[in-house]
Structure 1
Amino acid sequence: MKYLFLTGILFFSVAGFSQANVNELFAAGINDAEKFSDSYFGPVSEGAIYSLSNGWYNSADSKPLGGFEISIIGNMTSFKNKEDKKTFVLNTADYENLQFVDGSTSKAVSTALGDLEGIDVFVEGEVLGITTREEFELPTGLASENINFIPTAFLQLSVGLIKGMEVKARFLPKIDTEDVALGLYGVGLQYDFSKLLPADKILPIALSAVAGYTHLNASYDFTDSNIVDGSDQQIEVDMNVLTVQAVASTKLPVINFYGAIGYVSGKSTTDVLGTYQVQSGPFQETYVDPFSLTRKASGVSGTLGAKLKLGFFRLHADYSLAEFNNLTVGINFGFR
């Protein structure tokens, strides 16, 4: 349980990383702040969608009536070599007020997953006939702290029903600290088609279809910056992920191998809430619950894995290839 708690904190710190710098973008006006935030946070949402889609199965062989398995599942979704997700091109022509201090009109800047640092921007305008300029540094991302993966973890229960049907449920107990609140739940269904075959008891392989839905809800309170004052500043994330997989596996007493191919689809909504009062620069305005960001992600995934079974204890690991690659490790306790 302690591991689940720490993983939950780390997962949502991804979304809150450098938020104190991001809210300085309000000094450039609401439209520029929203446009930058969408590009900055979007890849985090995409990676989390792929992360939450994993871990639904460790075999195509569904459990018999009354069989059950309790699992602790951990996912590590890598973005180490995803340069297109760690940076985006900021073209000042697409922004109303934001400009680069070095005079560039377009350059790569960091997303919340990246590591580009020291990129200074400014906004300039007239206040009571006097030209006013405000400079600040764009935020960097997780890679600058040598973090190159998005983690998720949860508990999962699988129970066998009749005729090759298996129902699954996953959850992360509500984590609620001074700054972070995080929880998730999900439901899944597995159907073993090979149970329909007369020779099921002697066939060395099993074939199943798996469908799973995961919902995550989280919030993060962050510290005010010197440029933007305010109150109750936080981001709230609502994420829904659906995956459908075709799974094949061996049926051996101790060590088994499994593989799958399927489709992942998800949607993340990030609400930027609270009061943001710009107190320096040419655009000193106050914004309340300024905007909401929506990001969708979908694509094909392929998985290969292995499972070791020693009585009531099982251990499995698999690797998925998709838009974001993922390593899943599970510790399982069950009875067939």
Structure 2
Amino acid sequence: MKRILFFLFIGFSACGFAQSNINDLLAAGIDDAEQYTNDYLAPTLEASIYSLGGSWYNTADAKPLGGFEISVVGNLSFFGNKDDKKSFVLNTADYQNLQFTDGSTSKTVSTALGDIQGVQVFVEDETGLVRADFELPSGLAAEDINFIPSGFLQASVGLIKGTEVKARFLPKIETDDVSLSLFGVGIQHEFTKHLPADKMLPVAISAVIGYTQLNGEYDFTSTSVVDGSNQRLDTKLKTWNFQAVVSTRLPIINFYGGLGYLSGTSETDVLGTYVVTSGPFQTTYNDPFSVSADASGVIANVGTKLKLGFFRLNADYSLGEFNRLTVGVNFGFR
């Protein structure tokens, strides 16, 4: 369960890549393993960027000096309708050694989000006498999972007129196998605070900028996936969010929406010693390769917020390359 939660959180496929396929991929040679893994993981890492990069606000009405709010925020980024993100075309002409068992030269195969199973490949030496056969991994959809979740704590504090600073974090989660932490900083400025009759206006308008970084490490040496030592994945995921926000100013129930731009990068290092013991490329690799991905695009969201004294509850839906549902439970003053 810890392994599944870790890979879901940072966008890996628990059922494929980490559990049983690193040795198989490295048996195809370091270049083929790196190229395939990048194509396989990229859409999942993109979905994680969209899952983590948003949810910076639940109103455009900036808090006054000394006002604060503490929130528990949960997100789900959906990919069930993203067929183009759940598969990619593998052309053997782009690989040095990887070949399809059925003789095909190209075939649609699963990404870490997909559900294509049973694709058999092999590698062999020039003589054809030394050969290794294996099956390409499927993805999260094969386990009936069609979303990437994320969650964190977030705090907001009002400063000078119209300005509010924000911070988000996930306290470090550390077990024998998994280490996860998240932090972020943001700022919101309400332009309507500068108008003479701002308190009489029915709406507030503001701008938000937010930065988020996730650090994650998963040690799978003890799972004996391959011979070797200190085998682990180290991930750093960074996002920037820029949005214009508008919201109503009602006593209890309010509505808000935003339009902006999100961008992010992810870098995952496959670290440790890996000893390939089958196929024509039996060798030892140290820190064999890295997997990178980036994502950017326009995002828009609409939501509502219920305020009952110091208790607040909000929910919104965001449209983008990956749509996202956000729910927040908030406790605040002023």
Q: How does 1:241-260 map to 2 (within 5 A)?
A: 241-260=239-258
Question: Taking every aligned residue pair, what percent have the same amino acid on both sides?
Answer: 63
Are the structure 2 counterparts of residues 306 and 99 from structure 1 closer, same or farther at C-alpha, using a change threshold of 3 Å?
Answer: same
1:162 to 160, 163, 188: 160
Are the aligned partners of 2:13 and 2:139 in contact in 1 as well (CA < 8 Å)?
no
| Equivalent position of 2:209 in the other structure | 211
Root mean square deviation, CA, Å: 1.6
Are the aligned partners of 1:16 and 1:220 in contact in 2 as well (CA < 8 Å)?
no
| Equivalent position of 1:290 in the other structure | 288
| Equivalent position of 1:144 in the other structure | 142
| Equivalent position of 2:114 in the other structure | 114
Q: How does 1:259-270 map to 2 (within 5 A)?
A: 259-270=257-268
| SS in structure 1 at match of 2:165 | strand
| Equivalent position of 1:22 in the other structure | 21
Q: How does 1:68-217 map to 2 (within 5 A)?
A: 68-126=68-126, 131-217=129-215
Aligned residue type for 1:27? A
How much has 1:180 moved relative to structure 2?
Answer: 1.3
| Equivalent position of 1:37 in the other structure | 37
Are the structure 2 counterparts of residues 9 and 28 from structure 1 closer, same or farther at C-alpha, using a change threshold of 3 Å?
Answer: closer
Using the alignment, how far apart are the partners of 1:162 and 1:123 within structure 2? Answer: 64
1:309 aligns with 2:302: no
Aligned residue type for 1:67? G
Are the structure 2 counterparts of residues 183 and 215 from structure 1 closer, same or farther at C-alpha, using a change threshold of 3 Å?
Answer: same
Are the aligned partners of 2:10 and 2:48 in contact in 1 as well (CA < 8 Å)?
no
| Equivalent position of 1:277 in the other structure | 275
How much has 1:291 moved relative to structure 2?
Answer: 0.9
| Equivalent position of 2:219 in the other structure | 221
How much has 1:17 moved relative to structure 2?
Answer: 4.2
Are the aligned partners of 1:7 and 1:151 in contact in 2 as well (CA < 8 Å)?
no
Which runs of no fewer than 5 residues in structure 2 stay unpaired?
A: none
Using the alignment, how far apart are the partners of 2:150 and 2:294 within structure 1? Answer: 19
Structure 1, residues 150-183: CA drift from partner, whole Å, max 9, x if none?
0000000000111100000000000112221111
| Equivalent position of 1:300 in the other structure | 298
Are the structure 2 counterparts of residues 13 and 196 from structure 1 closer, same or farther at C-alpha, using a change threshold of 3 Å?
Answer: closer
Which runs of no fewer than 5 residues in structure 1 stay unpaired?
A: 1-5
How much has 1:12 moved relative to structure 2?
Answer: 3.9
Are the aligned partners of 1:7 and 1:153 in contact in 2 as well (CA < 8 Å)?
no
Are the aligned partners of 1:9 and 1:180 in contact in 2 as well (CA < 8 Å)?
no
Using the alignment, how far apart are the partners of 1:130 and 1:154 within structure 2? Answer: 53
Aligned residue type for 1:34? E
Structure 1, residues 175-213: CA drift from partner, whole Å, max 9, x if none?
112221111000000000000001111100000000000
Are the structure 2 counterparts of residues 215 and 25 from structure 1 closer, same or farther at C-alpha, using a change threshold of 3 Å?
Answer: same
Structure 1, residues 86-141: CA drift from partner, whole Å, max 9, x if none?
11111111011101111111111111111111111101115xx6711110111111
Using the alignment, how far apart are the partners of 1:238 and 1:86 within structure 2? Answer: 23
How much has 1:285 moved relative to structure 2?
Answer: 1.1
Are the aligned partners of 1:22 and 1:37 in contact in 2 as well (CA < 8 Å)?
no
TM-score, normalising length: structure 1: 0.94
1:233 aligns with 2:219: no
| SS in structure 2 at match of 1:14 | coil
